Amino acid sequence: MSKLWQKNSADTQSDIAKKVEAFTVGNDYELDQELVPYDVNASKVHAAALEKAGILTESELAKLKNGLSDILSLWEKGEFEITVQDEDMHTAIENHLVEKLGDLGKKIHTGRSRNDQVLTAMRLYEKDRLKDVISAAGQCTNELLKFAKAGETVPMPGFTHTRKAMLSSVALWAGGFAEMLKMQGDASSGVLSLVDRSPLGSAAGFGTTIDIDRDFEAEKLGFAKPLVCSTTSQLSRGWVELQYVQYLCGLTAVLNRLAADIIQYSGEISPYFTLDDAVCTGSSIMPQKKNPDLAELIRGRHSANIGHAATLQSLTMNLNSGYHRDLQLTKEPVLKAVRNTLESLAACTLLVKSVSINKEELQKACSAELFAAEEAYKLVKEDGMSFRDAYRKIKESSGGADIDPHQKLKESTHLGSTGNPGLERI
């Protein structure tokens, strides 16, 4: 099978050529298996644009579409092979069409380049996976809200600097994480606006003399609009992907902190929650151990996403305009970050389901120091004292009497307080 760029005289059999091929192709041919449906879809639309431009006849278009549908069927059965020799899915798809349709198969590449092909497939993939990510984030948010609702009347210490600070509640604790996920979900419109522009028809980044209707291609592929300047396509490659992965990092950052809290609050020192055995493991040497492995790995997966973002940032740094082979390496961090984020969200949903509330331990943990600020406020309200004087008086006192945390929950009524976490508004 020939490569799309290969000339007849190209030496592909020498030891040097094979080593160069292995290095330049890398694992691209394996990564592309996930993108085949998007490239096939884009090829069908491009073929329709070629027919519209008078390059293909109606009959040729029908044959090419059928050939592309056959490839998709093979892919769905796991029978569409992309080899190192192919380099990528684009070559494998075109070679398959040539094998089945002869010279007609060679016409599919008219007016396009592998540059706009891969970018179109990636942007279609990114749009699709963004929907999946937002859906998974919504499921995790809902699970947190259920947990919060179950703990709406359960007092809990609130911490600053890892020290007890003021009275909180299970609902306020879980509601904060739920709202963070919801906020990041709402922010998806920004990253969607970046990926929702079609690069197809920009070819190698300078357009072609073939009269391709790029608005037609964008509409048929479900994009909001085309990237206007052909040069924008290659300039945006990696730049958009970086912001896409940084957006995913925003989600896993929330999961990271949630997991860290669950690890702390389900341990022996502050046993506020209990984790189901299903999300924990034991030790090969210590019989008593019950380790929060799922939570720890959710926490750690965020580091992997940061690494993917850092890779993209480094790859696109100091590149002048136009295409560079470095940009081939922007594909893998995106695919891995998407997979990592979806898996982390699914794992976190399971983790939250596995947490039960230890009401007695939480009650004991709500000791007198949590109410110091409230005691100062009491002096302000009842004795007309300035807050600064009240603050000093409470600070100098030896400690207050026992206070019922449940009663204090009822006294906090403003939106977002311990007694009114506002879960229904999230």
Residue 115 near residue 234, CB atoms below 8 Å: yes
Average pLDDT on 201-207 reads: 94
Could you tell me the fold of the domain covering 115-363? Fumarase C; Chain A, domain 2 (1.20.200)
Higher pLDDT, 383 or 303: 303
Contacts of 295 (CB under 8 A, 6+ apart): 259, 260, 262, 263, 266, 275, 279, 351
CA dist., res. 410 & res. 413, Å (int): 7
Whether 161 is a known active-site residue: answer yes
Average pLDDT on 140-148 reads: 98
Q: One of 9, 14, 161, 284 is an active-site residue; which one?
A: 161
Q: Which of 365, 416, 340 is nearest to 154 (CA)?
A: 365
What is the residue-averaged pLDDT of the chain? 92
Higher pLDDT, 230 or 288: 230
Is 399 a residue whose pLDDT tops 60? Answer: no
Given pLDDT bands bounded at 50, 70 and 90, which one contains residue 13? low
Residue 200 near residue 214, CB atoms below 8 Å: yes
Q: One of 59, 69, 283, 356 is an active-site residue; which one?
A: 283
pTM: 0.91
In CATH, the architecture of 15-110 is Orthogonal Bundle (1.10)
pLDDT in tens, 22-67: 888 888 888 889 999 999 999 999 999 999 999 999 999 999 999 9
pLDDT in tens, 332-350: 999 999 999 999 999 999 9
Higher pLDDT, 131 or 412: 131
Given pLDDT bands bounded at 50, 70 and 90, which one contains residue 368? confident
Locate the domains of the chain by residue range: 15-110, 115-363, 370-425
Note whether 15-110 and 115-363 share their fold. no
Q: Residue 11 has what pLDDT?
A: 59
pLDDT in tens, 383-393: 888 888 888 88
Average pLDDT on 238-265 reads: 98
Higher pLDDT, 382 or 109: 109
Q: Which of 288, 301, 291, 284 is nearest to 263 (CA)?
A: 291
3 state DSSP class of 155: strand
